[in-house]
Amino acid sequence: MSRDKSSIDITIKSQKNDIQAENLARSQILRIIGADQNPSEFYEFSASDDILKPLVSHFKGLRIPQTLSVYEGLITAIIGQQISTSVASMLRSLIIELYGDATDIDGQTFYSFPTPQSIAEIGVEELVKNKFSRRKAEYIHSISEKEASGKIDLETTRKMTIEEATETFISFRGVGPWTTQWLLIKSLGFSDGFPSGDLALQKILSEHLTTNKKMTSEEALEFSERWAPHRSWATTYIFAALRNGIKL
């Protein structure tokens, strides 16, 4: 993969000339990087918003990256619960390299996200041994076991309404509103998700309003209504600003 400021060039390599597999890979790549999304309505909407307008000007072209599977998104979200982004990234990389399949291409090793079967087989104690808290290990193993056995099929949530998907995710042990909202944004591609319980999001909104009191989840949700029905996009651009040290 190569890129310049306005484009990305991706080369798909396969061991045999399989057009069907190449087309599937192409569609999956477009989904993961968000290239199949159309932000034009959001851009038009943001032009009249004092917070979003400068962010869109700075990050124009930014899409909302998606996970390849809903399972990957759910496990990644659980990993990220109540810890820093850097620690979450470390744990995600660890679980991928330990339990994901490895493929060597041009002398470089690439890993796929572990399958539900692979996580179900290793058990809770193995995850605890590899730096996961017992509670998170139990959540991750339970969901993996149910997905692997066919008791649940997370991919069916792609066909659900936002209300149906929310109800489904909340029913799982260890999954609350924060995790659910990130799944709606980064796995199901809904345009109006908003993780109001995210502490970093509450902090940056509080700083914008120059208040000495940090927003509550309820206050953040109420404030976000100004961005409906584009709150997934607003969230993505606000976090881009946060990562780059840009104040709202």
Judge if 100 and 145 occupy the same domain: yes
- The count of domains in the chain is 2
The answer to whether position 21 is within a domain reads no
Range of the domain at 217: 39-58+189-248
Judge if 182 and 75 occupy the same domain: yes
Q: What is the mean pLDDT of the chain?
A: 93
Judge if 54 and 84 occupy the same domain: no
For range 9-15, the mean pLDDT: 77
Spatial distance between the Cα atoms of 16 and 129, rounded to a whole number of angstroms: 40
| C-beta of residue 226 within 8 angstroms of C-beta of residue 205 | no
pLDDT tens digit sequence for 135-163: 999 999 999 999 999 999 999 999 999 99
Judge if 77 and 167 occupy the same domain: yes
Judge if 176 and 235 occupy the same domain: no
pLDDT reading at 132 higher than 70? yes
Judge if 218 and 241 occupy the same domain: yes
pTM of the model: 0.90
Judge if 166 and 215 occupy the same domain: no
The CATH number given to whatever domain includes residue 140 is 1.10.340.30
Closest CA to 232 of 181, 197, 198: 181
Q: pLDDT class for 4, splitting at 50, 70, 90?
A: low
Select from 186, 213, 235 the last residue of a domain.
186
The answer to whether position 223 is within a domain reads yes
For range 46-71, the mean pLDDT: 97
pLDDT tens digit sequence for 211-247: 778 899 999 999 999 999 999 999 999 999 999 999 8
Parallel, antiparallel, or unpaired for β 102-105 and 8-9?
unpaired
Give the per-residue pLDDT at 5.
Answer: 61
The CATH number given to whatever domain includes residue 208 is 1.10.1670.40
Judge if 143 and 74 occupy the same domain: yes
For range 78-102, the mean pLDDT: 95
pLDDT reading at 3 higher than 60? no
